[in-house]
Amino acid sequence: MSEVVAKIQRVSRASLAHAETLTREWLPQGSRQGSEWVARNVARGDRASGSFGVSLVNGKWNDFADRNAHGGDLVSLYSYLHGCRQVDAAMAIDRRLALGVFSWGAAPATSQPAVNEAAEAAYRQRLEAHAAERNLARQEAAARARSVWAAAKPAGSTHPYLMSRGIPAFGLRQCQRGWLLVPLYANGELINLQWIMPNGKKRFLKGGQVQGAHAPLGEPIAGGRMFVCEGWATGATLHRLTGDPVACAMHAGNLRAVAETMRGALNGSLDLVIAGDDDRQTTGNPGRQAANDAALAVGAMVLYPKWPEGCPDDLTDFNDLYRWHRARLETGQAGDGHE
Mean pLDDT, all residues of the chain: 88
Asked if pLDDT for residue 114 goes beyond 60, the answer is no
pLDDT of residue 108: 45
- Return the CA Rg of the chain: 23
The mean pLDDT value for 150-165 works out to 95
pLDDT of residue 110: 44
State how beta strands 173-174 and 180-186 pair: antiparallel
pLDDT in tens, 215-273: 999 999 999 999 999 999 999 999 999 999 999 999 998 999 999 999 998 889 999 99
* Lowest-pLDDT choice from 50-64, 135-149, 184-198, 240-254: 50-64
The mean pLDDT value for 28-33 works out to 84
60 class by beta-carbon count within 10 Å (0-12 exposed, 13-18 middle, 19+ buried):
middle
The residue that leads in pLDDT, 203 or 132, is 203
pLDDT of residue 106: 46
pLDDT of residue 129: 78
Among 135, 100, 115, smallest CA distance to 209 is for 135
Confidence tier at 63 by pLDDT (50, 70, 90): confident
pLDDT in tens, 279-309: 998 888 989 999 999 999 999 999 999 999 9
**Reduced to 3 DSSP states, what percent helix, strand and coil does the chain have, rounded to the nearest 5?**
45, 15, 40
The mean pLDDT value for 145-150 works out to 97
pTM, 2 dp? 0.74
User: Are the CB atoms for 337 and 308 separated by under 8 Å?
Assistant: yes
Fold classification of 3-107 is DNA Primase; Chain A (3.90.580)
Q: Does domain 212-339 have CATH number 3.40.50?
A: no
Q: Helix or strand or coil: residue 114?
A: helix
Neighbours of 23 (CB within 10 A): 24
Q: How far apart are CA 197 and CA 199, in angstroms?
A: 5
Domain boundaries, the chain: 3-107, 212-339
Backbone phi and psi for residue 328, each to the nearest 5 degrees, phi listed first: -65, -40
The mean pLDDT value for 162-167 works out to 96
Confidence tier at 47 by pLDDT (50, 70, 90): low
The residue that leads in pLDDT, 322 or 58, is 322
pLDDT in tens, 73-99: 999 999 999 889 999 999 999 999 988
Report DSSP letters for 283-328, one per residue: TT-HHHHHHHHHHHHHT-EEE---PPTT--TT--SHHHHHHHHHHH
